[in-house]
């Protein structure tokens, strides 16, 4: 911790080059000749009732425009998400551009970013409010922390440096947390999962009809990668978690303490702000370690104050509080769109579901222009904030985290891994030696170590079990997944012996995730039973012992995406875990459709080394795509159902030898009726007609609809003429664990 009066050498900032990851859109497949869909055999006549749910739009922060050389001497060629991953020590595995599962992998990694608290004086917040940011200094800098421009160089536990172009931090408001909590409570949502569901429903409803021109169905459905709707669901799920005792990802790594040049007693104010966060009314809960980095900022008013006086004050700050200081020069005048040097503030990508429901970040335009309501800043202000955030992260936060990991690894983890540490662990477990003397007083002696307080449900932050968990989380946020996995492994037995079940579930979850993120943790031939067992243990502990559905869903979602990115047999394991999400009813109606699509995507990504049909899972992928079409239709989204049918047609065309005709009459009847229902639903949504006769009798309507729904030159399209028979629905619940209906006649492919 850097307290007033401390000073520490600062690591020089690495150079950087601008770059922003690109989200790849779904590629439209080439035309297929004589293609049609086919379902698996012996389908049962039952449909699943569903209710709608929707997505959010992805946002990207603005990159830096400074032409500075790259800090990393290495470069890494891009690889597909399906093949084996290359060694990550040669550079960032995610640097440059992304597509497919690589983009989803980056989304997962960026969700576990360091948290930096913000606590500003009243005069600083007042200065920022004059610029149009009613949330004060925190609201001003928050969007700029999510994507640091250029490369951030991080050293791992063995001293190897890696450059990352997609690094960021999360700014949280330490001064107004209680008020924001009260506002969140007004939404009436008790469960974070219910909030995620409602946000998705609003997004899906606001998208309107994709065929109207503003949004294409392919923006929602992405079978080769991930749809924008699914990525928004994943982003919302990962943003919904708050600070908890069992993991430290949402605990502050550092805090920014800010004053302005208007302050009449600057040094005394800084000391008071420090005292508030250390032992005052802004102190964090007792299960959060108060020993975190303090970073002091002086905000200079360019329009009214003298820069000479501010510079003198800044020098005083560095003498009193050390080198973790910054002089931020901002204009106090409010910027509007008509200004020549106006720059729009980027959207916040990591808004929580409750913030979305409250409309956080959706402000009214200052003037009646074609804008989306986001505020504007002067270009000089934007460059100053970007420089401040980069200096904070590259010169203070990252070196601080690297130092703490090295110290904890040397003083705590190394002893725990040694023979004496193992002996003491066995002694505590079997004989009760070495237990804390305070356990008999606090009532925490029921565990094996005596450090777990079973009454209040947490370890104090200074005990070895809590320090090791924090070290593992720091290593994970520094993307040293080998060290994090080994540290999580150390804690699994300790938490189990202490019956600290939420801690126990958390280390199993993060141990599995660390191993899946580490390109060198498993070879292609290594079986995944160990990973599956850890995921099973985590899911069981979360749901059965802790009744923690949000963390269970997070665990399974991360497992699905990272297993899918591994390729090979891991894709089938990913599909099984996605089915588990649906079986446990962890998601709502739209979530059910999204996971149905993800199961199809998992099977479709199953590749065979020979490149032939045998061993692929195209038929299973097509079947789940038809399931998704049926569920979208029940939610009143015929256009999205049409896109699923097109995808199913493409998948089945690769494995069927017949001319677009199913070998089972019941299957053919079901698909024909599904086509008909999609077509009629589309016509009703467009207001063209509401009767079945209209769909088959009006040649103009039929021609227009066919052109919009399927522009490809199939001899027998899924959007062909409907069949007159109602065959009933198809239920994913009647599919076996390996993803096929009973008595599947096509398992050979």
Q: How far apart are CA 260 and CA 329, in angstroms?
A: 10
CB neighbourhood size of 661 (10 A): 13
Task: Spell out the SS3 assignment of 163-220.
Answer: EECCCCCEEEECCCHHHHHHHHHCCCCCCHHHHHHHHHHHHHHHCCCHHHCCCCHHHH
Cα atoms in the Cβ-side hemisphere of radius 13 Å centred on 85: 25
pLDDT in tens, 231-255: 999 999 999 988 999 999 999 999 9
Contact criterion met (CB below 8 Å) for 521 and 481: yes
What pLDDT is attached to residue 723? 38
Write down the pLDDT at residue 567. 83
The residue whose two tokens read 């917040």 is 125
Instruction: Supply the pLDDT for residue 86.
Output: 30
Structure tokens of 706? 């066919």
In the chain, which stretches have pLDDT less than 70?
Answer: 1-101, 177-190, 207-225, 360-373, 418-449, 521-527, 607-615, 657-663, 686-749
Type and span of the H or E element at 299: strand 293-301
Backbone dihedral region for residue 5 (phi beyond 0: left; psi -120 to 50: alpha; all else: beta): left
Residue 15, pLDDT score: 35
Question: Rounded mean pLDDT of the chain?
Answer: 74
Which long-range contacts link 663-670 to residues 24+ away (Cβ below 8 Å)? 663/38, 663/41, 663/745, 664/41, 664/42, 666/43, 666/727, 667/38, 667/39, 667/41, 667/43, 669/723, 669/725, 669/727, 670/39, 670/43, 670/727, 670/728, 670/730
Please report the pLDDT score of residue 512 as a whole number.
95
Model-wide pTM > 0.85:
no
pLDDT the model gives residue 11: 41
């Amino acid at each position: 911790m850097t307290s007033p009066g401390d000073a520490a050498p600062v690591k020089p900032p690495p150079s950087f080059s601008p770059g922003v990851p690109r989200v790849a859109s779904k590629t439209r497949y080439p035309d297929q000749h004589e293609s049609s869909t086919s379902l698996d055999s012996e389908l049962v006549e039952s449909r699943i009732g569903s209710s709608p749910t929707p997505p959010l739009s992805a946002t990207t922060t603005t990159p830096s425009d400074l032409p500075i050389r790259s800090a990393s001497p290495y470069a890494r060629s891009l690889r597909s998400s399906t093949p084996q991953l290359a060694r990550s020590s040669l550079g960032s595995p995610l640097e440059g551009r992304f597509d497919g599962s690589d983009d989803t992998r980056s989304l997962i990694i960026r969700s576990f970013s360091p948290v930096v608290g913000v606590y500003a004086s009243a005069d600083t917040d007042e200065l920022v409010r004059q610029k149009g940011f009613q949330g004060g200094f925190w609201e001003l800098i928050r969007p700029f922390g999510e994507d640091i421009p250029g490369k951030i160089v991080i050293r791992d536990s063995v001293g190897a440096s890696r450059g990352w172009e997609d690094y960021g931090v999360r700014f949280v408001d330490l001064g107004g947390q209680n008020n924001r909590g009260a506002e969140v409570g007004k939404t009436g949502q008790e469960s974070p999962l219910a909030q995620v569901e409602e946000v998705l429903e609003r997004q899906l409803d606001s998208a309107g009809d994709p065929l109207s021109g503003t949004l294409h169905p392919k923006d929602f459905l992405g079978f080769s990668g991930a749809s924008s709707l699914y990525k928004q669901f994943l982003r919302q799920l990962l943003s919904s978690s708050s600070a908890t005792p069992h993991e430290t990802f949402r605990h502050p790594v550092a805090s920014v303490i800010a004053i302005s040049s208007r302050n009449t007693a600057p040094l005394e104010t800084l000391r008071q702000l420090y005292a508030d966060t250390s032992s005052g009314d802004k102190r964090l809960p007792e299960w959060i370690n108060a020993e975190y980095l303090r970073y002091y900022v002086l905000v200079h008013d360019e329009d009214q104050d003298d820069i000479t006086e501010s510079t003198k004050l800044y020098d005083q700050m560095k003498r009193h509080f050390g080198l973790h200081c910054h002089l931020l020069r901002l204009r106090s005048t409010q910027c509007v769109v008509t200004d020549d040097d106006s720059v729009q503030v980027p959207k916040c990508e990591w808004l929580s579901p409750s913030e979305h429901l409250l409309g956080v970040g959706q402000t009214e335009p200052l003037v009646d222009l074609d804008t989306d309501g986001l505020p504007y800043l002067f270009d000089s202000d934007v460059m100053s904030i970007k420089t401040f955030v980069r200096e904070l992260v590259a010169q203070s936060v990252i070196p601080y985290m690297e130092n703490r990991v090295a110290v904890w690894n040397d003083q705590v983890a190394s002893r725990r891994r040694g023979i004496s540490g193992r002996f003491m662990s066995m002694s505590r477990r079997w004989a009760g030696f070495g237990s804390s003397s305070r356990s008999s007083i606090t009532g925490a002696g029921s565990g094996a170590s005596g450090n777990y307080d079973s009454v209040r449900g947490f370890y104090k932050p200074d005990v070895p079990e809590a320090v090791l968990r924090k070290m593992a989380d720091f290593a994970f946020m520094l993307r040293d997944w080998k060290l994090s996995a080994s540290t999580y492994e150390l804690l699994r037995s300790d938490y189990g012996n202490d019956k600290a079940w939420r801690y126990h579930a958390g280390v199993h979850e993060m141990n599995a995730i660390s191993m899946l993120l580490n390109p060198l943790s498993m070879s292609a031939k290594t079986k995944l039973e160990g990973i599956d067992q850890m995921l099973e243990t985590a899911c069981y502990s979360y749901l059965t012992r802790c009744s923690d559905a949000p963390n269970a869903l997070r665990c399974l979602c991360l497992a699905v995406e990272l297993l899918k990115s591994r390729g090979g047999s891991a894709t089938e394991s990913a599909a099984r875990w996605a089915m588990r999400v649906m079986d446990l009813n962890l998601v709502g109606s739209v979530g059910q459709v999204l996971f149905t699509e993800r199961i199809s995507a998992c099977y479709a990504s199953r590749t065979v080394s020979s490149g032939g049909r045998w061993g692929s899972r195209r038929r299973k992928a097509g079947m789940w795509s038809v399931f998704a079409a049926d569920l979208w239709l029940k939610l009143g989204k015929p256009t999205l159902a049409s896109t699923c049918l097109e995808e199913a047609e493409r998948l089945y065309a690769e494995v069927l030898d017949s001319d677009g005709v199913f070998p089972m009459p019941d299957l053919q009847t079901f698909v024909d009726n599904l086509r008909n229902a999609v077509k009629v639903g589309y016509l009703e949504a467009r207001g063209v007609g509401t009767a079945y006769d209209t769909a088959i009798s009006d040649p103009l309507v039929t021609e227009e609809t066919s052109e919009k729904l399927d522009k490809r030159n199939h001899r027998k399209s899924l959007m062909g003429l409907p069949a007159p028979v109602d065959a009933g629905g198809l239920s994913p619940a009647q599919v076996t664990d390996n993803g096929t209906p009973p008595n599947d006649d096509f398992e050979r492919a």
